[in-house]
Amino acid sequence: MRRVAVPRLALAWLALVLIGALLAPSLAPQGPFQSAGSPLSPPGGSHLLGTDHLGRDLLARLLFGGRFSLGASAAASLLTVLVGGSLGMAAALLGGAFDAGFRWLASVLLAIPGLLLAMLLVAGLGPGLPAVVLAVGIGGVPGYARLTRSYALQLMQDGYVAAASSLGAGSGWIALRHLLPNSLPQLIPLATTHFAWALLGITTLTFVGLAGDPSIPEWGVLLNASRANLLDAPWGALWPGLAISLTVLSVHAWGRRLADLQGS
C-alpha cells in the first residue's frame, strides 16, 4: 500500500507544480516583478504566501519561479540526454578506438566533481541563467553518456542486432531502428532521474549567486534572497525550499517507480 502511495503523492505534486508553472499568469494575483505590498508581510490576506523584502507577492514569485526552474532544468536535461545519449550510443556502436577514447575522456571528465565542472564553465562564460543551463547540461554529459553506452552494449548482445548487421545494416540504421526504441524503457527512468539532478544543479548554482539577475523569481534565487531576513520572515525561505525539495523528491520517486515498472 505504501509502495503505491508515495509515487501517487509524487505524481500529484508534480502535476500541481506543472499546472502552476504553465498557468502562472492566470493564477498569480500580481506580477512577480512588481512591488505590491509592504515588505516581508506574513502569509494571509491578499498575499496568500506573504511578500518578500521588496514587497513582491510570494505566490506569484513561486509560480513564475516554477517556469524558470523547471524550464531551465528541462533545457539542461534535454541537452544532456541528446548529446550524452548520442555520444554513448556512438561509442557502443562504433567500438574500437572511438570507444576507447570515449571511455578515457569520460573518466577524466568525471574526475572533476560535476558541480565544480559546471562552475568552471560559468566562470568562463560569465554569470547568468543561460550560462548556468549550458553548464549543467554539459556537466551531466559524461555520466549520462557512460550509462547510455552500457545500456546500448547490453542491447547489442541481443540476437536481433547481430542479425541486422549481418544483413548489412549500417550502424546508424541499427541505432535508429533497433537500439533506440528498445533502450527507451531503460533510458526514460534514467532521463527522469537526470532531470532531478539537473534541477538540483541549477537551483544550487543560482543559490550561490551565479544567476546574474537577482530579480528573476527562480527558486534557487528566491531561497538565497530569503537569507537576509531569515528569522524575521521565515516563510520567504520555506516556500522555495519546499518547492525545490518536494519536486526533487517527487521526480526521484517517479524515476524509481518507472524503473520498477519496466522490471529488472
Partner 1 sequence: MIFPSSRLKSILCLCLLAAAAACGQAGTQEGGLRYGLTLAPSGIDPHIHASVELGIPLSSVYDTLVFLDPETGQFVPGLAERWEVTPDGLRYTFHLRQGVVFHDGSPFNAEAVRANLSRVLDPENRSQRALSMLGPLREVQVLDEFTVALDLEAPYAPLLDSLSQVYLGMASPQALEQWGPADYQFHQVGTGPYRFVEYLPNDRLILERNPDYAWAPAIYRGSDAAIDTITFRFYEDVATRALALESGEVDVIGELPALEARRLAEVGEFEIYPVEIPGQPLQYFFNTQRPPTDDPRVREALVLGVDRAAIVRTIFGEYSPVAQGPLAAVTLGFSPRQDFGGYDPEGAAELLDSAGWRPDTQGHRARNGDPLQLLLIAPNWGSNPEVGQLLASAWDALGAQVELQVAPGFGPLNEVQQQGEYHAIGMNTFGSDPDLLRPFFASDGFFNWSGYRDAGLDLLLDQAAQSSTSEDARLALYAGVAGKIREQWLILPVRDYVNLVGASRDLQGLRFSAQGWFPYLIELSWRR
Partner 2 sequence: MVPVPHRAQLAALVPAARRVLEGLVTAWAAITLTFLALRLSAGDPVASLLAQGATTPARAEALRHELGLDRPLVEQYTGYLAGLARGKLGNSLYTGQPVERVIASQFPATLQLGLASLTIAVLLGLLLGTVGAWSGNTLPGRVAPALSGLATSLPVATTGVLALLLFGLAVRSAPRGDPLVTFGRTALPAVVLGYAASGPFARAIQSGLEGSLRAPFVLAARARGVRRSLRLLWHALRPSLPPAVSLIALEAAFLFSGTVVTETVFSRPGLGRLLIRAILQGDFPIAQGIVGLAALFYVGSQVLADLMALGLDPRIRRAS
Selected from 27, 53, 74, 182, the binder of partner 1 by CB under 8 A is 53
98 or 235: CB nearest partner 1: 235
Q: Which of residues 175-234 bind partner 1 (CB under 8 A)?
A: 212-215, 227-230, 232
- The reply to whether 50 sits near partner 2 by the rule CB under 8 A is no
Question: For residue 240, which amino acid is it?
Answer: P
Q: Which of residues 126-155 bind partner 2 (CB under 8 A)?
A: 126-127
244 contacts 220 by C-beta, under 8 angstroms: yes
Closest CA to 32 of 75, 72, 68, 70: 68
Selected from 55, 71, 185, 241, the binder of partner 1 by CB under 8 A is 55
- The reply to whether 83 sits near partner 2 by the rule CB under 8 A is no
Which listed option, partner 2, partner 1, none, makes contact with residue 95 (CB within 5 to 8 Å by class)?
A: none
Which listed option, partner 1, partner 2, none, makes contact with residue 247 (CB within 5 to 8 Å by class)?
A: none
Q: Which of residues 216-245 bind partner 2 (CB under 8 A)?
A: 220, 223-224, 226-227, 230-231, 234, 237, 241, 244-245
- The reply to whether 111 sits near partner 2 by the rule CB under 8 A is yes
Locus of grid cell 516563510? 235
- What ranges in the chain are assigned the alpha helix state H? 2-22, 24-27, 58-94, 96-109, 114-125, 129-139, 141-156, 159-166, 171-174, 180-207, 219-225, 235-262
- The reply to whether 39 sits near partner 2 by the rule CB under 8 A is no
Query: What is the grid cell recorded at 4?
Result: 503505491
According to DSSP, the residues that pair with 44 across neighbouring strands are: 47
- The reply to whether 46 sits near partner 1 by the rule CB under 8 A is no
Please, which residues have CB within 8 angstroms of residue 209's CB and are 6 or more apart in sequence?
A: 127, 224
SS3 for 43-98 is CECCECCCECCCCCEHHHHHHHHHHHHHHHHHHHHHHHHHHHHHHHHHHHHHCHHH
Task: Summarize as ranges the residues that interact with partner 1 (CB under 8 A).
Answer: 31, 33-35, 38-40, 53-55, 127, 212-215, 227-230, 232
Task: Summarize as ranges the residues that interact with partner 2 (CB under 8 A).
Answer: 107-109, 111-117, 119-127, 196, 200, 203-204, 207-210, 220, 223-224, 226-227, 230-231, 234, 237, 241, 244-245, 248-249, 252
